[in-house]
Amino acid sequence: METLYKELKQYFDVDEFSVQKASLAFLRVPKSQLVSLLTHMKDIRGYTHLVMVTCVDYLEQDSFLLTYLLHNYSTHCDLGIQVSISRQNPVMDGIHHLWEQGRVYQRELFEMFGIDFPGSPDVHEPMILEGWQGPPPMRRDFDTKAYSEATYSHRPRDHKEPEEYMKQQLYPED
């Protein structure tokens, strides 16, 4: 993996390289080079499988960290390519033209974090949260308690001791 990093550094502005184990490494790339690097990894380096795309919300740094995890079947290695984007303008180039399943990840990131992928098919269509009117729920500044209290009616809760409750359910005549 170290060799791959050195070779990539000749063509891309890669940074923060870390090896987690012999078959798994992560590196960072500027937003402007992400799609070019992903294309290179798929077409030239054999990382043909997009395992997943995920996001971490760094509220304190006012940024999102997107991680694109790729797999190479011939070397049995995984490479995570990370890119930071601004929370204030959460827009990223799409990868649906490289991997069809990229569409689904992009839709999920739009719906859950509010990250837009202009030109991505159906990115603005509801996928998980049909009828959702609130802010993206996976952002760290989303107040789930306040949302729940404002949205759902309060009802008294019956607290039952599990052991006694099960006895009554299983042996009602005792």
In the prediction, which pLDDT does 147 show?
Answer: 87
**Is 158 domain-assigned?**
no
The low-confidence residues of the chain, meaning pLDDT below 50, are: none
* Paired sense of beta strands 63-72 and 49-58, if any: antiparallel
In the prediction, which pLDDT does 5 show?
Answer: 93
**Is 48 domain-assigned?**
yes
Phi, psi for residue 116 in degrees, rounded to 5: -95, 145
In the prediction, which pLDDT does 107 show?
Answer: 95
The pTM of the full predicted model, rounded to 2 decimals, is 0.85
Number of domains in the chain: 1
Spatial distance between the Cα atoms of 65 and 82, rounded to a whole number of angstroms: 7
Q: How far is CA 31 from the centre of its chain?
A: 16
**Is 126 domain-assigned?**
yes
**Is 163 domain-assigned?**
no
Q: What is the CATH number of the domain that holds 8?
A: 3.30.460.80
In the prediction, which pLDDT does 131 show?
Answer: 85
**Is 96 domain-assigned?**
yes
**Is 151 domain-assigned?**
no
Q: Which amino acid is it at 99?
A: W
Computed over every residue of the chain, the mean pLDDT equals: 93
For residue 75, the enclosing domain spans 2-130
Spatial distance between the Cα atoms of 68 and 48, rounded to a whole number of angstroms: 12
In the prediction, which pLDDT does 163 show?
Answer: 87
In the prediction, which pLDDT does 174 show?
Answer: 64
Q: What contacts 75, CB < 8 A, 6 or more positions away? A: 23, 46
